[in-house]
Amino acid sequence: MKRAVWIMLSVLASAAIAVPARAAGSGATVEIERVSDGFVAGWNAHDAKKMAATFAEDGDLINPFGQSAKGRADIEKFFEKEQATAMKGTTYKLESNSIRELDADCAIADWIAVITGMTDSNGKAMPPFKHHVVVAFVKKGGHWQAAAVRAYVFLPPPAPAPAK
């Protein structure tokens, strides 16, 4: 019995040494969720500076309407304009935030998000705007930041071909 326990412990120790340690752990996931939540809080406060602070200095974004900004200062200006016009009075909610850690300094988050409170150019209420966001996060100076953000809307699948 002692020999069997010794063999099992030896095998487990060998396996632990042979398998490389995971570069980023759950602490990274918690930090990335905190940054994501910071973006949402900034949006809901309509605070462009707080929203832009979640980005790396050289970060960039493309929104679901094809508009883009590059660099934190440009991103802040982008959000200032957006929050004063089309997104004024809206609420942002993350329905899900799935994070995949690629290594110690890089991760990808997939958000399913909804914007409510949008109005059209005539002031008429629009339905909730559900969209998907992919965020490439990098760790710089010990802090996780959004390096690249791509928001988009899934299209419905094409209709099947008519039967012959």
Q: Which long-range contacts (CB under 8 A, 24 or more apart) does 151-160 make?
A: 151/61, 151/62, 151/63, 151/64, 151/113, 152/64, 153/64
CATH number of the structural domain spanning residue 127: 3.10.450.50
* CA 125 to centroid of chain Cα atoms: 27
Number of residues that make up the chain: 164
If one counts the domains in the chain, the total is 1
pLDDT score, position 1: 43
Per-residue pLDDT tens digits for 6-27? 333 343 333 333 333 334 446 8
pLDDT score, position 136: 98
- Per the CB < 8 A criterion, the answer to whether 55 and 61 are in contact is yes
Q: Show Cβ contacts of residue 138 under 8 Å, excluding neighbours closer than 6 positions.
A: 56, 105, 106, 144, 145, 147
**Is residue 67 one of the residues assigned to a domain?**
yes
pLDDT score, position 146: 98
Per-residue pLDDT tens digits for 70-91? 999 999 999 999 999 889 999 9
Please give the residue range of the domain that contains residue 104: 23-152
Average model confidence (pLDDT) across the chain = 86
Per-residue pLDDT tens digits for 98-121? 999 999 999 999 999 999 999 988
**Is residue 161 one of the residues assigned to a domain?**
no
pTM of the predicted structure, to 2 decimals = 0.80
